[in-house]
Every structure is written in C-alpha cells, then in structure tokens.
Amino acid sequence: MAEPISVAIPFAPKVNLIDLPDKFLGQLFKCWKGLLTVILDELDRKYNIEEQGLEKYSISKFMRYQIVEDRFVAEQTHEIINIEHTLADAEMKLPEKFLVMSIVDKFSKS
C-alpha cells in the first residue's frame, strides 16, 4: 500500500486553478520549482527503495527455489527461468554457466 507523502512547504500561495499557468512565469516560479523538486526527490526516494526491495526479493526467490519430484520438471524449469528474466529486467544478468549450474543443483539428490 502506498504511503502518503507529507511535505512541509514554508510558503504555499493560494492559487485559483484557472490562473495556475500564469503562476509559473512570475515571482512564484521559485516557489513552484522548489515544491516540484521536493516532491520529485521524495518520489524518487520512495520508488527507488521499492525497486531495491523487488531486486532483493527476486534474488532471494531464485536462491531458495527448489525443484521437487511431484511436479513436472519442465514446468518448474520454466518458473526458475521466469525468475531469471525478472533479475535480467532489473539489470542483474546472471552468467549462463552460473544459471545452468544453479538449475542443475536445485534438482533433488535422488
């Protein structure tokens, strides 16, 4: 669930929405620019943290994945390849040799 962003603004003029485009041209430009910078920095911090959490989750999911005997091997291999594609989309490309050896190692020892 998204958290609300709270920003303390030292000077926030009351503006009629119809006059809003004119307010970007005059003396209030610095106020609007500062407000926009604060909001963009907060959004960048929030979504960058979420992206890092997704990367950690994907790595953890890949490392903990175990192939079991009561399901089809092709289906499970497809699942682990999808996890690898999620990592590649996050610019964490695994070397092919490491990927193959990891998949082979995930088979049960029997």
Question: What are 13-63's pLDDT values in tens digits?
Answer: 565 555 555 555 666 666 667 777 888 888 877 777 777 777 788 888 888
Any idea what DSSP says for residue 19? G
Higher local confidence (pLDDT), 101 or 9: 101
pLDDT of amino acid 11: 57
Terminus-to-terminus CA distance in the chain, angstroms? Answer: 43
- Determine the Cα–Cα distance for residues 100 and 94; give it in Å rounded to an integer: 10
Predicted pLDDT of residue 19: 56
Looking at beta carbons, which pairs linking 48-52 to residues 24 or more positions away fall under 8 Å? Answer: 51/90
